[in-house]
A and B are shown apart, each in its own frame.
Chain A
Amino acid sequence: MAIGEPMKIRAALAGDQTEVKVLMNHEMETGQRKDAQGQTIPAWFIQSVMATWNGKAVLSAQWGTAIAKNPFLSFKFKGGAKGDKILIHWVDSRGDQRTDEAVIA
């Protein structure tokens, strides 16, 4: 099930590399905060992220609760050509997931 707002993904050639910048929409709730009634707000956060280019993994990550709300991620990989597709996929601690794609500019 895809939840939340689409990610903002920018992928652009920089020399022989492709630079990818991703902005995800997620609360990244730590499990440390309490609500107005003093009840602990349960942790809810992205646990795994996978970036693929033409079906090949170019980055994968495991995250804990310390990644900031609406996570930002930037990385570079060799190869990539204008028009190639970049896919970003995440799964959170509730088992919800989302995949968005961008084209290399």
Chain B
Amino acid sequence: MQRYDFELIARWIPERARVLDLGCGDGVLLAGLAATHGVDGYGIEIDDANVLASVRNGVNVVQTDIESGLAQFDAGTFDFVILSQTLQAMRNAESVLLEMLRVGREGIVTFPNFGYWRHRIDILRGHMPVSKTLPYSWWDTPNIHLCTVKDFEDLCVKVGAEILEERVIHEGRAIGFLPNVRGSLAIFRFRRKP
């Protein structure tokens, strides 16, 4: 799967930043950021195959559950905490956001926009959406907390996060007009409200 969000994330991360990547998968984002930006930090990953792939990619990966594993880090340990296309699989998305705000100076969250027009049409036709960003059937999906761009904005207000940047894209193209309808992937950068 092409990860359009990675390009944007890479633009937002400064040189030599200290990064925590939650649900780092095979570690390619961190490995890439280490190569291009000289960042250091850790990937958090629960899946055995992904942990092995991360080691093979030379990434410092810690095998743990995101929701409990964040507790091991002190407040303000990282410059950036990244949660890319994983929020929707969290049991308690709110507490994960709060933990991100605690351990990181800034947070970056990317998620599939449930408000994307194709998803809306699927619902109107009477079915749960299946798309490139939501490739699962309802009965085997790991995605238990899907949300729209507006929903996420509301959650940011609730947890006391100040949104610094907000992008909605579709297949790599930025969507400026009606983003919550025309964009399939949302990318937010935020920090704790000062």
Q: Say whether A and B bind each other.
A: no
B contact set with A: CB distance below 8 Å: none
A contact set with B: CB distance below 8 Å: none
